[in-house]
A and B are shown apart, each in its own frame.
Chain A
Amino acid sequence: MTVLASRNESHHPAIGRGVGTRGAEGGRLLDTMVSRAQWPRLIGNLSPGDPLAATFVAPDDYRTYQVKGVVEMIAPATDEDRAVALAYHRQIHRLLTSLGVTEGQIRFWLTDSDLYRLRYRPTDVFVQTPGPRAGSRLEPRP
């Protein structure tokens, strides 16, 4: 599961959900797919150079990481991007229903309507898994 936050010029936050992420440019950048129709404020706040936060959580074991990044590009999703989102839909749907989440609880946000690709450069990764390490910075391997 992926949730994202941007902020406007007066530093008020906006929230959105991501529906699929892949590495880009040899893993130096990340692409996360977002429905603009559903999360207009999240997208509306973002231009290249703006800060972005994305939290990724594994629903089955609560492993959680937050990526801080800087936006490189925002563009309507290509067919290739949409394929990433649809593959994510299938995967997360299977996982969540196996955990007892109902169809109705998922359907509202698992969408590819008005899909956009957010490309951003990660600057920091923090552990957010509940527990003593929550909040610590993930250091790159030496």
Chain B
Amino acid sequence: MTGVPLRDLHACFEGVIPSIIATVDAAGVPNISYLSHVHYVDDDHVALSNQYFTKTSANVRDRGTAALIVVDGRSGRQYLLDIAFVSSHREGALFERMSDHLNAMSSRQGMSDIMALRSADLYRVLSCEAVPAVEAGEEPVAAPPDAGARLAAAARLAGAIARDADADAMIDHALRSLAEDFGFPHLMVLIPDDSGTRLTVIASRGYDSPGTGAEVGLGEGVAGTVAATLRPLRLADMSRGRRYAEAARIETPVPRAIPYPGLAEPLSQMAVPMISRGELTGVLMAEAQTRFAFAREDEDALALVAGQLGAALALHDMATEDEPAAKPAPDRIAGPRIRIRYFPYDDSIFIGEDYLIRGISGRLLHHFLRLHLDEGRSDFTNRELRVDPRLRLPEVKDNLETRLILLRRRLDDHAAPLRLLRPERGRIRLEIGGIPEIEVVT
């Protein structure tokens, strides 16, 4: 290939500004069409999203070549590429990657039905040159992150996480480092619920309200899409079209809803799946109020950290625990009454009038409170919870540890008169600043 190296054009390949493709038919008549996405494959190849440009496809099949204009979404600079058709892909990694991105962008614009990807068409780039800029003045554009440095930082973080003693600390460690060392301003970890239909925010950083326990439907927004497809997704400029709403953002109070902590108007978002043994264990998401906040190198770094975090969380759930300790003498706590309502149909818990949590985390808290009242106990072990039939935990992959982390964090966020402590691995201590009164609402 001659001319400007393709890797220098990274901001042209984010699907922000439509590209233009021109072809010529057998009779010599030119054809010109907009094209939503040109994907960088390597320094000699790009892939084009083929959605509906049938005339272009026919001309390319006929002649094998086309001219392409791609636009740098940050600077507005334009580049002219001469390209030669190589192959068309209707499945596989390239197709899926482009399809996910297109679906995310077009659903923002309410056009997902008619923008579906038909094929990802691979082209060899013969030449690439800048279109002359005739007006002076160009906005300075920040250089992309150094790929090598990003990789090294991600590897360091993955190693550091692995040395953390418990899963809770790992999550905090990962979010702190992604914020401080990588400069990712707003971060979230979400975990799938047992029904496989929702994600729940288990930890966040950089938001006004942590939103622990807030929910997002599977397939909704960037995080929900990543959970549904198990593939990473990165959007570089979300300013145009309808906002890609994280549907769980709730403006009016609704029972059993915790306000979603995400940005109201993010301009950049990326999310990567946390996978262990082929199963989704969570989603790690970053967003920003600026365009092009995240480059491909950032996504790769996030994926590396998410992989480590996902595996570590799963391992913590499988780790064998110590034998239960002798039960300490129960402390009878004095203090104000704490009114707790428990709704068995969805295992939701309310403290006073405030919704706290639902699902297995809610069932666990009800269980702790019940045993506290009936037997005066405040200490529990993961092991006894796993075998207690009343809790109806799944026999395999019960995700007990992540449910406990969610519950602990939610209680802390809520400044509830209850706290969950983890004195050591596999142990849970309930601290209650009063006397609970449980009302079971059926």
Contacts and interface: CB of A to CB of B under 8 A. Distances in A.
Interface of A: 3-7, 11-15, 35, 37-40, 51-55, 57, 62, 64, 66, 68, 99-111, 113-114, 126, 128, 130-132, 134-135
A56 B73 CA distance: 21
Given A7-B24, A15-B67, A15-B80, A99 B30 contact: no
Interface stretch (B132-140, B273-281, B329-337): B132-140
Given A13-B22, A15-B20, A134-B52, A107 B135 contact: yes
Interface in B36-78: 51-55, 63, 65-69, 71, 73-78
Contacts of A53: 22, 29-32
B152 interface: no
A68 B33 contact: no
Contact of B137 (A35, A107, A114, A126): A107
A14 B10 CA distance: 23
Residue in B22, B63, B74, B77 whose Cβ sees the most chain A Cβ within 10 Å: B22
A122 to B, nearest CB: 13
Contact of A5 (B31, B75, B76): B31
A35 B76 contact: no
Contacts of B80: 15
A66 B32 contact: yes
B207 interface: no
Contacts of B20: 3, 15
Q: Which 4 A-B pairs give the minimum distances between C-beta atoms?
A: A100-B239, A5-B22, A13-B22, A5-B32
A108 B51 CA distance: 27
Nearest to A130: B114
B169 interface: no
B135 A108 contact: yes
A57 B35 CA distance: 12
A105 B32 contact: no
A61 B277 CA distance: 45
23 contacts: A3-B20, A5-B22, A5-B67, A7-B28, A11-B28, A12-B24, A12-B65, A13-B67, A37-B132, A38-B131, A38-B133, A38-B134, A51-B30, A53-B31, A104-B138, A105-B76, A108-B77, A108-B135, A111-B134, A113-B135, A134-B53, A134-B54, A135-B55
B139 A104 contact: yes
A62 B34 CA distance: 10
A39 B43 CA distance: 25
A37 B134 contact: yes
B111 interface: yes
A105 to B, nearest CB: 4
Contact of B132 (A38, A128, A130): A38
